[in-house]
Amino acid sequence: MTSLGSTATSEWSAPGRVNLIGEHTDYNDGFVFPFATPHRTHVALATRDDGRLRVISTFDAVPVEVAIADLDALFPTVDGQHAVPEWSTYPLGVAWALIQAAGADPTTLTGADLAFASNVPVGAGLSSSAAIEGATASALNELWNLGLDRVALAQVGRRAENEAVGAPTGIMDQMASMLGEPDAATFLDCRSLETDEVELGFAAAGLSLLVMDTNVKHAHSTGGYGERRASCEEGARVMGVPMLRDLSVGDLDRAAELLDDVTFRRVRHIVTENQRVLDTVRTLRDEGPRAIGSLLDASHASMRDDFEISVPELDLAADTAVAAGAIGARMTGGGFGGAAIALVETDAVETVTLAVEQAFADAGFTAPTIFPVTPSAGARRDG
């Protein structure tokens, strides 16, 4: 593979992710349970001898070039204003955050051309952002011989997204993209960053996991996302705990007394969702994947009614899938659009797909894009 006329010296890739369960719990120090998608972002790297980084993507034919020593002047982003095209703040922000994390002297680092191509759908809740971050972090970590481990690379990705892109997201996506393993999901404690790869066994049980992308872009997510974060912080403050992670289901009666109705429902979602993640992991281990359906359904209801981040298209996808025979279904990702998932018998994939497509047509909604995903490997060197 060639990039920008130079010959690639290495190739890397990192996946997107699907969150099986545990939504908006990451920034509350709670639990999440995502897996890596077979969809990946690939990067071909060629070294340069002039201390510069040049990035190009199939998203935008115009390359962006900066001196490594100048990254410090570009980031962190101030007031949401980017000095370079927004897409390039993902890979260049990762380069900047890597140098910070490793305490490296930028003037000593080898320059590179990085060419990106991806089949991770953008804005569908599959985290194309973590995929480009993970691919970049893995490639530059090795090029620059920084020796950061996978958890440190996930933290670099998050810092780039928070401070160079300017999106206030949690650590889940980057951890899933860095750590994913085939046929497993990453049980992640977002407080300690301890992880456990838990076997899913979908294929062995004759099950498939469908992504139902509503094609509703989460355009308003920034405002809604920030508001939900603020409600969670307010709930923790009034309840006198550092984070909502520190509450359990037994605290909800007291929360109902102390909190206004909206804040209480936001808190109840986080507290019960954390419990559902723990229950899902235990149920998978003890009883197998067929037994997790009701937990998926309960998670969706909680996001629809308590956290209020669903939209009619996501509700219709989840409800129709279950009515057509899915074992369980829920919206996945930050909400306000994006995708839902359904766990279905592989034999029933076609029936469920057709039922959801028909329901969308009947409701006058834009046609959804429905496809199965197989839990896959995390970031890696490909060549």
Judged by the rule CB under 6 A, the positions of this chain that interact with ligand ADP are 41, 57, 59, 86-87, 90, 116, 118, 122-123, 125-129, 132
Q: Which stretch binds Mg ion (CB under 5 A): 91-99, 125-133, 211-219, 227-235?
A: 125-133
User: Which of Mg ion, ligand ADP, none lies near 132, with the C-beta cut-off 5 to 8 A by kind?
Assistant: ligand ADP
Closer residue to Mg ion, CB minimum distance, 16 or 111: 16
The conformational region for residue 189 under phi > 0 = left, psi -120 to 50 = alpha, else beta, is beta
Query: Amino acid identity, residue 1?
Result: M
CB 132 within 8 A of CB 74: no
Q: Which residues contact 215 (CB under 8 A, 6 or more apart)?
A: 124, 366, 367, 368, 369
User: Which of Mg ion, ligand ADP, none lies near 41, with the C-beta cut-off 5 to 8 A by kind?
Assistant: ligand ADP
Torsion over CA of 239, 242, 243 and 246, rounded to 10 degrees?
Answer: -70
Closer residue to ligand ADP, CB minimum distance, 35 or 90: 90
Q: Is residue 89 a contact residue for Mg ion (CB under 5 A)? A: no
Interatomic CA distance for residues 97 and 181, integer angstroms: 25
Whether residue 273 is annotated as binding a ligand: the answer is no
In the complex, which residue's CB is closest to Mg ion?
129
Interatomic CA distance for residues 78 and 166, integer angstroms: 9
What is the nearest approach in angstroms of ligand ADP to the Cβ of residue 58?
7
Whether residue 4 is annotated as binding a ligand: the answer is no
Whether residue 129 is annotated as binding a ligand: the answer is yes
Structure tokens at 83: 């000095």
- 50, 70, 79, 173: the catalytic one is 173
Phi/psi for 193 (5° steps) reads: 60, 20
Whether residue 225 is annotated as binding a ligand: the answer is yes
What is the nearest approach in angstroms of Mg ion to the Cβ of residue 17?
9
- For residue 373, what are the CA distances in angstroms to 33, 183, 265? 15, 10, 32
CB 298 within 8 A of CB 178: no
What is the nearest approach in angstroms of ligand ADP to the Cβ of residue 341?
14
Whether residue 27 is annotated as binding a ligand: the answer is no
Closer residue to ligand ADP, CB minimum distance, 166 or 328: 166
Interatomic CA distance for residues 5 and 8, integer angstroms: 9
Active-site annotation holds for 173: yes
Selected from 28, 41, 127, 283, the binder of Mg ion by CB under 5 A is 127
Q: Is residue 129 a contact residue for Mg ion (CB under 5 A)? A: yes
Whether residue 315 is annotated as binding a ligand: the answer is no
Binding site for Mg ion (CB under 5 A): 127, 129
User: Which residue ranges make up the annotated binding site for Mg(2+)?
Assistant: 129, 161
List residues with catalytic annotation: 173
